[in-house]
Amino acid sequence: MKKSFKLYIICWAIMLALFNAVCFITPNEAAGLSKFGGAFFVGYIFITVAFVGQLVCAYIAFKAEDLEKLFYNLPLITVSYSGLILTLLLGGAAMVIPNLPNWVGAVACLFILGLYAVAVIKAIAAAKAVASVDKKISRQTGFIKNLTLAADHLVSHAQSEEVQRACKKVLEAVRYSDPMSSIRLQEIEERITTEMQQLRETVENNDAEIASTVAEELIALLEDRNRQCKAFK
């Protein structure tokens, strides 16, 4: 993400430099009017503040550790960019309208920046809320995901057809199990984990008879867990 942010800074710096070039390199007199009259510097200051604010928002977004978190922060970039565009339009109008009172330009720009700041705060809060929910769901579905991987591993490492058949039954039962977990299922999930460990040992020992028995117990526990999941919803 740091490399992407460095490229973003380059683009941001070019845009800021172009803005300043238009403001100060162009002739002082345009259409017979002083370029620095009215609310010129009010508009200039607020636009510069919007540029800096947009860069801060981009930094917050790009400091994400992975693509998933960056995706959550994309609305922050969009909102801040939209705020910058609106400030450019309104601030630019304040800069070019002759004899516009400073307080008019300041109030108008403050209004836009205020809306922009509120939208940015909401975007940050929304990104954190979504990330929190996603983390919670990931934690709640972790048990079945890990169990599926373990059962699939046993199927692929079974040394006989009988043992493999027993493991396949367990894998099928796991795949059709309710993916959501909760603290109230801790006891039965611990029993399932223990039975899965026993099944792993029978696969290593290639004991078809015990594998079949353990598989049946696992399937029964999974069915019981599914009933409990349904009851808790």
- Residue-wise pLDDT for 106-151, tens only, equals 888 888 888 888 888 887 787 777 766 656 656 667 788 888 999 8
Q: Which residue has the higher pLDDT, 133 or 185?
A: 185
Mean of pLDDT values over 186-194: 88
Write down the pLDDT at residue 32: 45
The model's pTM is 0.56
DSSP of the chain, one letter per residue?
-HHHHHHHHHHHHHHHHHHHHHHHTS-SEETTEETTSTTHHHHHHHHHHHHHHHHHHHHHHHT-SSHHHHHHHHHHHHHHHHHHHHHHHHHHHHHHSTT--HHHHHHHHHHHHHHHHHHHHHHHHHHHHHHHHHHHHHHHHHHHHHHHHHHHHHHHH-SSHHHHHHHHHHHHHHHTS-----GGGHHHHHHHHHHHHHHHHHHHHT-HHHHHHHHHHHHHHHHHHHHHHHHH-
Of 38-52, 55-69, 84-98, the range with the lowest mean pLDDT is 55-69
Domain boundaries, the chain: 2-129, 158-232
Q: pLDDT at residue 14 above 60?
A: yes
pLDDT at position 31 is 44
pLDDT at site 57: 84
